[in-house]
Structure 1
Amino acid sequence: MKKKMKFFEKYLSIWVALCILSGFLLGKIFPQIPKTLSKWEYANVSIPIAILIWFMIYPMMLKIDFSSIKNVGKNPKGLFITLTVNWLIKPFSMYFIAYIFLKIVFGNIIDPELSSEYMAGAVLLGAAPCTAMVFVWSYLTNGDPLYTLVQVAINDLIILFAFAPIVSFLLKVGNITVPFGTLLFSVMIFVLIPLVAAIITRHYVIKVKGKYYLEKIFIPKFSSISIVGLLLTLILLFSFQGETIEKNFVHMLLISVPLIIQTFLIFAIGYFWACFWKVPHSIAAPAAMIGASNFFELAVAVAISLFGFNSGAALATVVGVLVEVPVMLTLVRIANMTKNKFVKKGVTK
């Protein structure tokens, strides 16, 4: 039976486009709303955005069973590929590709200062491997759900320690100065707090109601909250982005070029490496998908914290959301069409 995506995930790009339009109109018709909300911040972190990001991230963190990490040794090759690609290749290749296109190829079209902000947004996406949508991509490619869980859990833990230093380093290389304290504070607010809250919740619900209740009843109740959080965040973000969009609408298309190339490149590296190493397809596909896809919720939140609502960095991260689903669905098709390549090599049964 052919597997299908849920309605919201399948048309995510359409919802993002509608939110862009709604936010743009909101900022134009009721400019006092974004102006008022922009004043509610602490340590450069927007309180409204923080709340909405929590609504997005907390339900995702609930799905992650960190006790699954004990199974990490069952297929170390898949995990080694994921971690190497995600943390030693992806952030740096993203910087390199973004620099080539935003600074050189499109250098005569994009203002240098704005191109630097776009690069910053690309770097934030490149340093944040996927933690949520990868479960969808794994499902669509018949990936091993338990092993995907292990991969995501390990990556989430690494984000806590590696995201801020990598982003800070790459931005400094690009002559973009950001306060490291704000970067660390953003990771604490948008990753550590919802992560700890989710771990405590899982432990309590399992203790009181059992694991079946948690996974089949409790977690599904929060899926709609996550969706609402994402849509409201995008509407709010683009209510601030009205002027930027008017002046730089074509830039959204230009930003998408390095992001799409990066996605295909990272998938190819992880996928072909797994094939060469004779990793089972059920592990190889999601391993490659984790790096190709992005933790765009975190990237959007940090971009706003560091550069502001109406910044080019924030715009670039949202372009990442816009292109993610159609590009990743293309990769899903490629993975499913090439599954027999693993069989020929004696990889799968």
Structure 2
Amino acid sequence: MTATTAPEAPVAQRLSRLDRYLPVWIGVAMVVGLLAGRWVPGIADALDAVSVGSVSLPIALGLLVMMYPVLAKVRYDEVGAVARDTRMMVLSLVLNWVLGPALMFALAWIFLPDLPEYRTGLVVVGLARCIAMVIVWNDLACGDREAAAVLVAVNSVFQVLAFALLGWFYLDLLPGWLGLSTTGLEVSPWEIAGSVVVFLGVPLAAGYLSRRLGERRRGRDWYEQRFLPRIGPWALYGLLFTIVVLFALQGDTITSRPLDVARIALPLVVYFALMWAGSLLLARRAGLGYARATTVAFTAAGNNFELAIAVAIAVFGVTSGQALAGVVGPLVEVPVLVGLVYVSLWARRFFPDTAGAPS
């Protein structure tokens, strides 16, 4: 009699309850934030008042809690080998700093030709390349953590150097060349650098020190099998807290202007879908395996909405149309990219290195 092997349990059943119902928790967090911003008197003003410069402390707290567990998982001793993958690095740079902003500029003018404030807000969102939540999406989609850390670091450096320059190009110079109306963007590179330090530098340093000190004192097995499982859920707790705060800040505006929100949301949905799918296909064509192709796709599709909102508020004001467009960004990005996590896991079967993997 031949022994048979029991079929492996479906992936969903092997996930924790928090992970398995992630889209539900995110939806609940959005609703809670929107209702709080709409019906709790003064909550938006109270949250907005707790800030240092253009950095909201509640948002910064949520992002630090969200980012630290994921960055603590990175094996930093393998980062050097990842950075030597020139195909991945060049492809990511082109997607993030050439194709991404150009696509958002085109979609903003196609869908919002009569709404200059919202159009400008979308262009600002397109210029703010992702340096935060992409690590969470990448981790959920079984992407390459070390590659994500490298690409996020590269995006951070480019963001400091290129954001203001690209803002001038897409909001002033290019529309002038095309005979379109222009809207200027004046933002200090120091504000951008400060945002990068808060939202990436602090959790990156904490994650690096945790792994270095933890492995030195207790060994890699203890660190990865005992310590990381304890802190892992806090990444999603931080994500949900951040979503509640973001939507509470603009809850009244979002719920009182549903048609405007829908018009802003449509080009964003098209943008995220095109950037993610196109990036994944290009990465596969370039010969990247599933893990790194997924990382390239999510880093290209995601946007640094924290920076976009901070810039829009600092330059145009908290009640401006540009700020509303910035807030609608995560309203669309979070559910769309969560959905793309599932699409990515399903698409593993089309990559040679993961052919036949369970979806």
CA displacement at 1:187 relative to structure 2: 0.6
Deviations 1:153-188 (A, max 9, x none): 321221231123333233332233323221111111
Counterpart mapping for 1:1-349 below 5 A: 1=8, 3-4=11-12, 7-9=17-19, 11-72=21-82, 76-101=86-111, 103-104=112-113, 107=114, 111-124=115-128, 130-137=134-141, 139=142, 148-172=144-168, 173-174=170-171, 175-277=184-286, 279=287, 281-283=289-291, 285-294=293-302, 299-308=304-313, 311-312=323-324, 313-333=326-346, 335-336=347-348, 338-339=350-351
Q: CA deviation at 1:204?
A: 0.7
Task: Determine the C-alpha separation between the residues in 2 that align with 1:342 and 1:65.
Answer: 22
Q: CA deviation at 1:271?
A: 3.5
Alpha-carbon shift at residue 301 of structure 1 (Å)? 2.5
Change (3 A) 1:122 1:252: farther
Aligned length: 324
Distance in 2 between residues matched to 1:339 and 1:135, nearest whole Å: 18
Counterpart CA distance in 1 for 2:332 and 2:242 is 14
Structure 2: give runs of 5+ residues left out of the alignment: 1-7, 172-183
Q: CA deviation at 1:67?
A: 1.6
AA aligned opposite 1:155: L
Q: Name the SS for the 1:132 alignment partner.
A: helix
Whole-Å separation in 2 of the counterparts to 1:87 and 1:3: 35
Q: Which amino acid aligns with 2:76?
A: F
Q: Give, as a single letter, the amino acid of the residue that structure 2 aligns with 1:119.
A: V
Q: Which residue identity does 2:342 align to in structure 1? A: L
C-alpha contact (below 8 Å) 1:58/1:197 kept by paired residues: yes
Q: Against the structure 1 CA distance between its residues 7 and 252, is the aligned structure 2 distance closer, same or farther, given a 3 Å change threshold? A: farther
Per-residue CA deviations over 1:204-240 (Å, capped at 9, x if unaligned) read 1111111122222212222222222222222222222
Return the letter of the residue paired with 1:240. Answer: L
For 1:159 and 1:129, the matched residues in 2 are separated by 13
1:122–1:316 Cα contact (<8 Å) kept = no
Gaps of 5+ in 1: 344-349
User: Could you list the per-position Cα deviations for residues 61-106 of structure 1 after superposition, in whole angstroms to 9, with x for gaps in the alignment?
Assistant: 11222221232378543444344333443333333333332x33xx
Amino acid at match of 1:132: V
Q: Distance in 2 between matches of 1:20 and 1:199?
A: 31
- The one-letter code of the counterpart of 1:306 is V
RMSD across aligned C-alpha pairs, in angstroms?
3.1
Partner of 2:175: none
Contact 1:293/1:328 (<8 A) preserved: no
| Residues 202 and 243 of structure 1: CA distance in aligned 2, closer, same or farther (over 3 Å) | same
Measure, in 1, the Cα distance between the counterparts of 2:84 and 2:119: 44
CA distance in 2, matches of 1:79, 1:67: 18
* 1:178 match: secondary structure: coil
Partner residue in 1 for 2:4: none
User: Retained in 2: the 8 A contact 1:94–1:126?
Assistant: no
Structure possessing the higher radius of gyration over alpha carbons: 2
Give the TM-score taking structure 1 as reference length. 0.79
For the residues of structure 1 that align with 2:262 and 2:229, how far apart are their CA atoms?
35
Question: Take 2:108 and 2:22, find their aligned partners in 1: how far apart are those partners?
Answer: 24
The question of whether the paired residues in 1 share the 8 Å contact of 2:124 and 2:312 is answered with no
Q: Is the 8 A contact 1:68 1:149 kept in 2?
A: no
The amino acid that maps onto 1:158 is V
- On the 8 A contact 2:289/2:353 being kept in 1, the answer is no
Q: What residue identity is the alignment partner of 2:297?
A: M
Measure, in 2, the Cα distance between the counterparts of 1:19 and 1:275. Answer: 35
Q: 1:136 to 1:302 in 2, by over 3 A?
A: same
State the distance in 1 between where 2:290 and 2:39 align. Answer: 50
Q: 1:164 to 1:96 in 2, by over 3 A?
A: farther
**Preserved CA contact (<8 Å) 1:55 1:225:** yes
Alignment partners' CA distance in 1, 2:274 and 2:199: 28
Structure 2 Cα separation of the partners of residues 19 and 190 of structure 1: 21
TM-score, normalised relative to structure 2: 0.77
